[in-house]
Amino acid sequence: MLRVEGLRVAYGERVVIPGLSFTVAPGQALGLIGPNGAGKTTVIRALSGVLPLQGGTIFWETVPLHTLPPEQRARWVAVVPQGATLPEAFTGEEVVAFGRTPYHPWWGPLADLDHLPIARAMIRTDTQAFAERRVGTLSGGERQRLLLARAFAQTPQILLLDEAFAHLDLKYQVRLLRMIRRLLQEEGMAGVLAIHDLHLAARFCDQLLLLREGRALAGGPPEVVLQPALLEAAYGIPMRVERHPEAGWLIWPEL
Ligand SMILES: Nc1ncnc2c1ncn2[C@@H]1O[C@H](COP(=O)(O)OP(=O)(O)OP(=O)(O)O)[C@@H](O)[C@H]1O
């Protein structure tokens, strides 16, 4: 179980997340939703260890992630960041192999044991064809899939995704979301996704956390959180929500 309690994060003097608590069970996905500037990316960055905490705790089972040094935390937590740039001269396989860095603190060569997670990660993301190609020759969506493969190669317990699907075409959005769901369940990993697309969030996530100005307006399964009044309070415009027998949810702003 991922347990976050009283998370408090600031940029300089400005407190952006005053105190946030939530849990994610193994095998489950939590979607962070809310308007621009609500704090979704900040929560992801705090969980990944990029931002220091001003307060609060982050536990995976009994492991206090908030006190671990970055190289140790990286064995537990992998992140697919928003709009990351990759070195253009690297090959696809080299990018994915970076996922094994936390297991080689002295930048040593890959061990035999590393090749299996790298190969599995590339098969799962359908990136084998990019193994020998330079990153500079790949499209935005293809690079995004390599970032996912790098995260899988890290064999984490917690997978953090910051708008990881924004640049993917519909086929890969669906394919990778299905694959991530299977991976979370098979490996007992916990997933936390910052996601703008409310339809994808509703279909994919077990739990949603609706943020506004760094605070949780609502948390729970989609049917609890996706209430017009709550969405209106978050986004500041009237919203309509309907269940659909095939699409699952239809959510749209009233024009
Ligand atoms: N490096 C930074 N320095 C100062 N303030 C920042 C920094 N990064 C983000 N902020 C502020 O923190 C708040 C939360 O930003 P954050 O990027 O976490 O929001 P978000 O919900 O991910 O937004 P979006 O949907 O636009 O990506 C915003 O008010 C933003 O201006």
- Average pLDDT of every residue of the chain: 91
Amino acid letter at 155? T
Distance CA 125, CA 112 (A): 21
Quote the pLDDT of residue 173. Answer: 85
Q: What are phi and psi of 180, to 5 degrees?
A: -65, -40
CATH architecture of 2-76+156-253: 3-Layer(aba) Sandwich (3.40)
- Give residue-wise pLDDT tens across range 17-57: 999 999 999 999 999 999 999 999 999 999 999 899 999 99
Both tokens assigned to 122: 């590339």
Which residue is closest in CA terms to ligand 1's atom 2? Answer: 11
CA of 11 to the centre of ligand 1 (A): 9
- Secondary structure letter of residue 134 according to DSSP: B
51 CB within 6 A, ligand 1: no
More confident residue, 246 or 243: 243
Total residue length of the chain: 255
Residue 210 in this model has a pLDDT that exceeds 90? yes
In the chain, where are the structural domains located?
A: 2-76+156-253, 85-155
- Secondary structure letter of residue 152 according to DSSP: H
Of ligand 1's listed atoms, the one at least distance from the Cα of 163 is: 27
Both tokens assigned to 58: 């982050």
42 CB within 6 A, ligand 1: yes
Of ligand 1's listed atoms, the one at least distance from the Cα of 196 is: 25
More confident residue, 109 or 254: 254
Helix (H, G, I), strand (E, B) or coil at 249: strand
- Give residue-wise pLDDT tens across range 60-106: 999 999 999 888 898 999 999 877 788 899 999 999 999 988 887 55
39 CB within 6 A, ligand 1: yes
| Nearest of 180, 194, 83 to residue 140 by alpha carbon | 83
Quote the pLDDT of residue 243. Answer: 87
Amino acid letter at 109? P
Pocket test for ligand 1, best of 9, 16, 47, 210 (most atoms within 8 A of CB): 16
127 CB within 6 A, ligand 1: no
CA of 1 to the centre of ligand 1 (A): 27
Q: pTM higher than 0.90, yes or no?
A: yes
Which residue is closest in CA terms to ligand 1's atom 17? Answer: 41
- Give residue-wise pLDDT tens across range 128-142: 999 999 999 998 888
Cβ atoms of 253 and 243 closer than 8 Å: no
CA of 39 to the centre of ligand 1 (A): 6
